[in-house]
Amino acid sequence: MTEDELISELHTTRAVRDLRRVYNSVRQQPELLDWLIDNTWDDDVATNCTWLIKCHLSGKGQASARQADEILELLFCVPTWLCQLHLLQSLPHLQVSQSMKSPLRRHLDEFLLSERKLVRAWTYNALHVLACQFPEYQREVEDLLLESLKTEASSPAARIRALLKQRGIANLASRES
């Protein structure tokens, strides 16, 4: 598939099954991730590009350190909540650089204020990923997860419970300080 054909597909494709078909036809292209990152800046195709980034990374695609930083920069400014969601879902497959950890942490706080439950749920997951990669955030994130469990809606709360279980926090009612 040529770049022109791909951009045309991204302008017209709406169904996930069609996006999977598009991905399957381009997934072997060596510059795919760079192309998707560059084209996410086009608001008309941003949602489809971020979905393809998520698909690529969750399918064992690799992101270089530069690409990971660029994907995080996209997360900070994408135009829709769906784009945010796709990039938040991609975070477990990225290595966060030292230079991006603080900006990421600040933006995750903003995403916790989203009206979208799925964005909040995946933001908690992103915080967990950040704490796994940077141990200095572990206690802060565990405290936030425990506190948020008391007030979050069911979808984010389910994600929080799963994260706490992964973190080995069995007793959710109380925790030694």
Position 172 pLDDT exceeds 70: no
pLDDT of residue 2: 83
- Do residues 50 and 17 touch, judged by C-beta distance below 8 A? no
Q: Which of 147, 141, 115, 140 is nearest to 126 (CA)?
A: 141
Query: Which structure tokens are listed for 26?
Result: 């381009």
Query: Which structure tokens are listed for 55?
Result: 């698909």
Position 173 pLDDT exceeds 80: no
Q: Which of 108, 115, 109, 118 is nearest to 156 (CA)?
A: 118
Determine the Cα–Cα distance for residues 111 and 134; give it in Å rounded to an integer: 19
Question: 133-153, pLDDT tens digit by residue?
Answer: 999 999 999 999 999 989 999
Q: Which of 141, 71, 75 is nearest to 107 (CA)?
A: 75
Is pTM beyond 0.75 here?
A: yes
